[in-house]
Amino acid sequence: MVAAAGAGAVAAGGFMPQLARAATSGRAPARSLAKVALDAVYFGGPAAVMEYGWSENSDLGFKVNRLYPGRELASPQTLGYGPNVDTLYGVAWLDLSKEPQVIQVPEIPDRYYSFQLIDMWSNPFAYIGTRATGTGAGAYALTPPGWQGTLPAGVQQISATTKRVYVLTRTLVNSPSDLDAAVAVEASYRNGPLSAYPNGLFAPIFNNLQPDSLAPSLPSYGVALFQQINQAILSYPPLPRNAVQAAELVRVGVDVRHYKQPSPSLAAILSDSIQPAVTNAVAYYQSIFTVLNGWDVVFGIENITYNPLRRFALAFRGAGTHIAEEALYYNASSVNGTPLSGANSYEIVFPQGQLPPVSAFWSVILYDSDGSLVPNPINRYEVASHTPDLVFRSDGSLSITVSNTQPTDPTTNWLPAPTSGFSLTLRTYLPQEPILNQTWQPPATQLLSA
């Protein structure tokens, strides 16, 4: 029936003859150039975000192949959206093109730590740390794609998916008095080229440099974005499954050996596709939330994301999103559709035996409407599994009161709020199976007063 209609349209000199040919041959019609341009942005946008991070951090003074850990926990002065106040962060940008790079860690039996390894397509392809490699001392060689050398005894290979790698480290601080001990752990990390192993690896560099975690304004790139995407495909050959997707982008001049500037008509199509792609990515990110008792969470984040739109949406939120087995974050910004506000008071109650089932730690952190920590009279930015002097009620439950003024109830734990709007993030590190299969769910935030 479709074939007949299509053939009639061709016979009558109607529109889209190729549609009729596709219908009679059983093949789908070719995608429009505008659709292919959108797909190119989805596919290559994550690489553009990562390249932006590489260049911006270089401008800030970060050296390639050196590890930069922090020695201070996040505070209201910390840049970036939604900083973690449980761990010390560290960063490194590694270039494996000349030789593998080694990361060496000591035995760390008493605190969570991780080195998240992220490729230039924004995939968190591997980890070093408590969950992934255990608590014992170890040396790990990150090898570039296609490397076939020999490693020294005792050095484990981690095959990188691109020749450049972004490393994001997290080292747990159990309490304010534990800060120096956590910094000492960071000071024992080592990294450097394989040729310098074992005695020539570098000690980390402690300073106040802060990495730029903001995504670039891709629409401002204009048509030049597509040349950058093409170069990314050449520089960081996609994994086979993604390479098939990249090959479909040739019609808009991407995935070619010798890039050519597009014609004016094609350039207009390309430039006009960037903002819609960004808008679609933001909408897609919202669509993959699961809502549990008023908390938003994204399940199913994996080491490699093959869906280009999904990968672009995740990358636009910032490189460093954990896979589900490492951490899951729940976010709440309203109660029954009404935004959270310091004009009200709220309560979160974990019944006895219903604290988040984790193998590392959990925390509830409050942020203002800009994603920053909120100054308050007791300098408390979270209530967590490692918060000193947690208060439990006689029935074994744990109550958190979120309010601008300190509650009079001595059986609750106060999380100070601003007078204006705010949001809450519940972090669960090394979530156990009840979290992963959703048989455990966070309790709803309850309105106490208005």
More confident position, 269 or 60: 269
Q: How high is the pLDDT of residue 78?
A: 86
Task: Give me the DSSP letters along 404-429.
Answer: SS--S-TTSEEEE--SSBEEEEEEEE
State the number of CA atoms in the 13 A half-sphere of 254 facing the CB. 33
Tell me how far apart the terminal alpha carbons of the chain are, to the nearest angstrom. Answer: 62
**379: phi > 0 → left, psi -120 to 50 → alpha, else beta; which?**
left
Distance CA 421, CA 217 (A): 26
61: its two tokens: 């003074």
In sequence order, the β-bridge partners of residue 133 are none
Distance CA 370, CA 339 (A): 14
Q: How high is the pLDDT of residue 25?
A: 39
Start and end residues for every CATH 1.10.3360 domain found in the chain: 32-60+213-288
CATH number corresponding to 32-60+213-288: 1.10.3360
Q: How high is the pLDDT of residue 211?
A: 58
**CB contact set of 141 (below 8 Å; sequence gap of 6+):** 100, 101, 102, 151, 155, 156, 157, 158, 194, 197
Helices (H), 176-263: 179-187, 224-235, 240-247
Q: Is the pLDDT of residue 255 over 60?
A: yes
- Give the pLDDT band of residue 214 (cuts 50, 70, 90): low
Average pLDDT over residues 139-146: 98
3-state secondary structure of 43: helix
Output b/e per residue, 34-66; b: 16+ Cβ within 10 A: eebbbbbbbbbbbbbbbbbbbeebeeeebeeeb
Start and end residues for every CATH 2.60.120.600 domain found in the chain: 326-449
Q: How high is the pLDDT of residue 2?
A: 29
Find the range with the poorest average confidence among 18-22, 60-64, 79-83, 139-143: 18-22
Average pLDDT score, the chain: 91
Q: Is the pLDDT of residue 272 over 90?
A: yes
User: What's domain 326-449's architecture?
Assistant: Sandwich (2.60)
Amino acid occupying residue 428: T
Q: Is the pLDDT of residue 7 over 60?
A: no
Residues above pLDDT 70, as percent of the chain: 92
- CATH topology for 61-196? Immunoglobulin-like (2.60.40)
Q: Nearest to residue 345, comparing CAs of 427, 412, 442, 441? A: 412
Neighbours of 228 (CB within 10 A): 18
Q: How high is the pLDDT of residue 147?
A: 97
Compute the CA torsion angle 333, 397, 175, 322 (nearest 10 deg). -50
CA max distance for the chain: 83
For the stretch 362-379, pLDDT in tens is 999 999 999 999 999 999
For the stretch 312-365, pLDDT in tens is 999 987 788 999 999 999 999 999 999 999 999 999 999 999 999 999 999 999
Amino acid occupying residue 277: A
Q: Which of 83-87, 209-213, 233-237 has the highest mean pLDDT?
A: 233-237
Q: Is the pLDDT of residue 44 over 80?
A: yes
Beta strands in 8-50 (DSSP E): none
Q: How high is the pLDDT of residue 21?
A: 36
Using a 10 angstrom Cβ sphere, with 0-12 exposed, 13-18 middle and 19 or more buried, the burial of residue 424 is: buried
For the stretch 57-103, pLDDT in tens is 888 889 999 999 999 999 998 877 888 999 999 999 999 999 999 99
Q: How high is the pLDDT of residue 12?
A: 30
Start and end residues for every CATH 2.60.40.1610 domain found in the chain: 61-196
**CB contact set of 43 (below 8 Å; sequence gap of 6+):** 229, 242, 245, 246, 249, 254, 308, 312
Cβ–Cβ < 8 Å for 374, 366: yes
